[in-house]
Amino acid sequence: MSTRHRCTITTVLVLASANLLLGQEVGPANGSLVIVGGAMRDTAIVNRFIELAGGPDAPIVLIPTAGGGNDYDQFWGGTRAFRRAGATDISVLHTTDPTVANTDAFVAPLERARGVWFGGGRQWRLADSYLDTKVHEALWALLERGGVIGGSSAGATIQGSYLARGDTRTNTIMMGDHEEGMSFLKNTAIDQHLLRRNRQFDLLEIIEARPELLGIGIDENTAIVVRGDEFSVIGQGYVAIYDANRQIDSGGQFYFLAPGDRYDLATREAFRMAQRRQPLDRVVERKRPDPR
């Protein structure tokens, strides 16, 4: 085979590999995700979750483990928002023991569920209890049959592949002693309480160290709804996108999406609602704040 032919074949293989990578699914192939930045008050968010689960009569499992309590019963306060929204088939599932989470009896409620919701707290507790157990497998099976997984605050971050703020000592360490999430959203790091807690610069540490990851920062009372490789923004705040591989025209390090905007996770392209004229790459904050 001539050198010219070998070069041609190599070029074709490289281009084919690039196209496969571009088309790789980031979100789940089936089912949906509802990822909330914390302090969920907008009823449209929980209503959307219930709708994706199949309606008010759909079986929904709530997992409060991130909250750090020893025991949670069926009257846990986190059920109220779902009951007010009309959900009638709610159960609460909790353990801190991965051995228990790896039993058929424990995962039985997940096998009939159409929706699962992770409450807030510390995301490493969810990782310690459920990562790579039968619970984790059952959650993937739920998505495969078209169900929905949602979560707020810690319940948002756990859905990414990289576990931001996963340190057991404090939630101010971005890259800590727990770095693995459940990967329902592949190649991502998700942060929450974004603007409310002045965290808009924090994800830069992760993206600079791991430039292959897409950073997604979600403000309070705001959510992204993921279906396949696209998400839409709902709620009352903003979502920030951090992409080390995309040159932002304004020279900033991240940019914001507002409610109604959409984002393609495979091509890493954003789309604004038609009536908005502001360029997507306009960044509200271009520099880190002066520490003085």
Predicted confidence at residue 143, as pLDDT, reads 98
Low-confidence ranges of the chain (pLDDT < 70): 1-24, 247-251, 274-292
Contacts with 5 (C-beta within 8 Å, 6 or more apart), sequence order: none
Predicted confidence at residue 211, as pLDDT, reads 97
Predicted confidence at residue 8, as pLDDT, reads 36
As given in the structure block, the two tokens for residue 66 are: 């991130």
Predicted confidence at residue 245, as pLDDT, reads 87
Nearest CA-CA partner of 92 in 61, 120, 66, 71: 61
Predicted confidence at residue 252, as pLDDT, reads 76
Predicted confidence at residue 21, as pLDDT, reads 43
- What are the residue ranges spanned by the domains of the chain? 24-271
Predicted confidence at residue 250, as pLDDT, reads 56
Predicted confidence at residue 30, as pLDDT, reads 97
Predicted confidence at residue 246, as pLDDT, reads 80
What is d(CA 158, CA 153) in angstroms, rounded to the nearest whole number? 9
10, 48, 103, 134, 268 from 241: Cα distances, Å: 34, 23, 38, 32, 9
CATH topology of domain 24-271: Rossmann fold (3.40.50)
Query: DSSP letter at 196?
Result: T
